[in-house]
Amino acid sequence: MAKGGPRNSMPQQDAAARAKNFDEVALGYSEATALDEAERCLNCKTKPCVQGCPVNIDIPAFVDLMKQKDFAGAANVIKKTNSLPAICGRVCPQENQCEKFCVLGKKGDAVAVGRLERFAADWQAANSNGSKASFKPEHSELANYKVAVVGSGPAGLTVAGDLAKIGYTVTIFEALHKTGGVLRYGIPEFRLPRTILDREVEYVKSLGVTIFTDIIVGRTFKVEDLLEQGFDAVFVGSGAGAPKMLGIPGENLSGIYSGNEWLTRINLMRAHRREYATPIRMPKHVCVVGAGNTAMDCTRTALRVGAEKVTIVYRRGREEMPARGEEIENAEHEGVVFKLLTNPVKFIGDEKGAVKGMECLQMELGEPDASGRRRPVAVQGSEFEIECDTVIVALGQNPNPLIRTTTDGLTCQSWGGICINEETGMTSIPGVFAGGDAVTGEATVISAMGAGKVAAAGIDGYIREKHGIS
């Protein structure tokens, strides 16, 4: 097929079967399909796709190596600027990034850059020692300088990887007992298998990065303690883990979870498996409030833990749903019901204090609001009830307040985001840098990684200037 033809589709597990298991939904390209897809790329000299990539992967160069069947070479080109390629190949919204700028997308289908990235990374891991780095730091004399990283999400892993490649001694402090941030506790296994995540964390470790888990910075010790203990710089990549709730009556009833709590209980604490100590009540009808990516992950997880019925409750219409189109379709094919233009106003409890339903209002769409989406307006007298035994409120997250409230002199936005110099990633405290969701609020894996790269360059510049190193 190749040049001029449509993009190659991604094989998937059958919808009915996959809704009952946690195995990966998207199965990946075969070698023949990957080669065919690579042939579609025009190798544009102006590299428009690269400007859409927050970590500047040389896309035409890696795709060209794929055409020559040099898959390890392709993976190495990607890894020059992206330490987590198999993750990004699976979860990045490429349709809004590199693929949005692909010239082929103007008249037809963009090259499937993400799927090719996934293939190259998986091929390297399967056929060579892909999870171990064989490299020499660019400047081994910088090993005397130490950098502390708070959080092992994509922002923290990227800063750590980039600084270790330069030659710094890097230590990550992670609050949870496992690494990866949202990649582990938020994004479910059927979109990102944990073997892939473990492999890419191992790669970062093989660059020389040390990771300590179960250390809560702000409690175990503070950011300023790290500077006093001899770290030359600190990067705060603590993410956005504080859930936004509806603030309506009855929200404290049992059986009502935030999206984060629900996903953490399933993904990290295995609450759906009897042999683990933190069980959830087996749900019959789960209502998920919200329509972003977190909401889609919650619905699809609820199906997999055995819910009889799962309903998305969203106050706007289909066009306004913020989740990726692909995720909405996947949820729909797996059997999720969409109750649109519906706004919960009150939760109803039973005599034991457990949720048994919610009162909702019918909405209609008015004029666009500040977000550009049409504003939902309540229809007078339209109250109705939905029966359910589990509710998941998935409206997004704000940055966790702990670092903000325990770090003197750290300037933050009124909603909690840490303020930084956009060019260097430095905060209001000299030597303390920040990036990712802790700065922007909930965004994307690749934007957190892009921010990590900016901060790594900023930290390198800061330490060199401070110590007169050229």
Based on the shown chain and the rule CB under 6 A, indicate whether residue 392 belongs to the binding site for ligand FAD.
Answer: no
Tell me, residue by residue from 448 to 467, as one string, x for binding to ligand FAD by CB under 6 A and - for no binding.
x-------------------
Q: How far apart are CA 117 and CA 401, in angstroms?
A: 36
| Shortest Å, Cβ 58 to ligand SF4 | 10
- For residues 186 and 458, which CB has a smaller minimum distance to ligand FAD in the complex? 186
| Shortest Å, Cβ 218 to ligand FAD | 5
For residue 411, give both structure tokens: 């300037």
Burial 135-162 (b: 16+ CB within 10 A, else e): eebeeeebeebbbbbbbbbbbbbbbbbb
Neighbours of 383 (CB within 10 A): 13
Q: How far apart are CA 91 and CA 99, in angstroms?
A: 14
| Shortest Å, Cβ 276 to ligand FAD | 19
Answer for which of 19, 112, 125, 176 binds ligand FAD (CB under 6 A) is 176
44 interacts with, out of ligand SF4, ligand FAD, none, CB within 5 to 8 A per kind: ligand SF4
For residue 125, give both structure tokens: 């891991």
Q: How far apart are CA 412 and CA 409, in angstroms?
A: 9
Q: How far apart are CA 383 and CA 443, in angstroms?
A: 34
Q: How far apart are CA 311 and CA 290, in angstroms?
A: 10
Q: How far apart are CA 194 and CA 180, in angstroms?
A: 10
- For residues 71 and 203, which CB has a smaller minimum distance to ligand FAD in the complex? 203
Count Cα atoms within 13 angstroms, Cβ side, for 336: 29
**Stretch binding ligand FAD (CB under 6 A), from 3-11, 175-183, 247-255, 341-349:** 175-183
Q: How far apart are CA 383 and CA 345, in angstroms?
A: 9
Based on the shown chain and the rule CB under 6 A, indicate whether residue 49 belongs to the binding site for ligand SF4.
Answer: yes
- For residues 99 and 174, which CB has a smaller minimum distance to ligand FAD in the complex? 174
Answer for which of 24, 37, 117, 174 binds ligand FAD (CB under 6 A) is 174
Answer for which of 60, 130, 188, 208 binds ligand SF4 (CB under 6 A) is 60
Based on the shown chain and the rule CB under 6 A, indicate whether residue 42 belongs to the binding site for ligand SF4.
Answer: yes
For tokens 């034991």, name the residue: 352
For tokens 């993750």, name the residue: 87
Q: How far apart are CA 12 and CA 27, in angstroms?
A: 5
Which three-class secondary structure state does DSSP give residue 82? coil
Answer for which of 24, 122, 442, 460 binds ligand FAD (CB under 6 A) is 442
- For residues 8 and 238, which CB has a smaller minimum distance to ligand FAD in the complex? 238
Based on the shown chain and the rule CB under 6 A, indicate whether residue 400 belongs to the binding site for ligand FAD.
Answer: yes
- For residues 63 and 172, which CB has a smaller minimum distance to ligand SF4 in the complex? 63
Based on the shown chain and the rule CB under 6 A, indicate whether residue 54 belongs to the binding site for ligand FAD.
Answer: no
- Is the separation of the CB atoms in 236 and 403 below 8 Å? yes
Q: What is the DSSP string of 258-322?
A: EHHHHHHHHHTT-TTSTTSSS--PPPSEEEEE--SHHHHHHHHHHHHTT-SEEEEE-SS-GGG--
Residues 86-145 that bind ligand SF4 (CB under 6 A): 102-104, 111, 113
Answer for which of 34, 102, 197, 402 binds ligand FAD (CB under 6 A) is 402
Beta-bridge partners for 287: 311, 391
Answer for which of 60, 153, 250, 450 binds ligand FAD (CB under 6 A) is 153
**Stretch binding ligand SF4 (CB under 6 A), from 56-64, 329-337, 388-396, 438-446:** 56-64
| Shortest Å, Cβ 43 to ligand SF4 | 5
Question: Rounded to 5 degrees, what are φ and ψ at 22?
Answer: -100, 10
Residues 66-105 that bind ligand FAD (CB under 6 A): 91-93
- Is the separation of the CB atoms in 156 and 134 below 8 Å? no
Based on the shown chain and the rule CB under 6 A, indicate whether residue 57 belongs to the binding site for ligand SF4.
Answer: no
Q: How far apart are CA 33 and CA 235, in angstroms?
A: 41
Q: Tell me which residues touch ligand FAD (CB under 6 A).
A: 91-93, 150-156, 173-176, 181-182, 186-187, 216-218, 237-239, 241, 263, 293-294, 297, 400, 402-403, 436-438, 442-446, 448
Q: Tell me which residues touch ligand SF4 (CB under 6 A).
A: 41-44, 48-49, 59-60, 63, 102-104, 111, 113
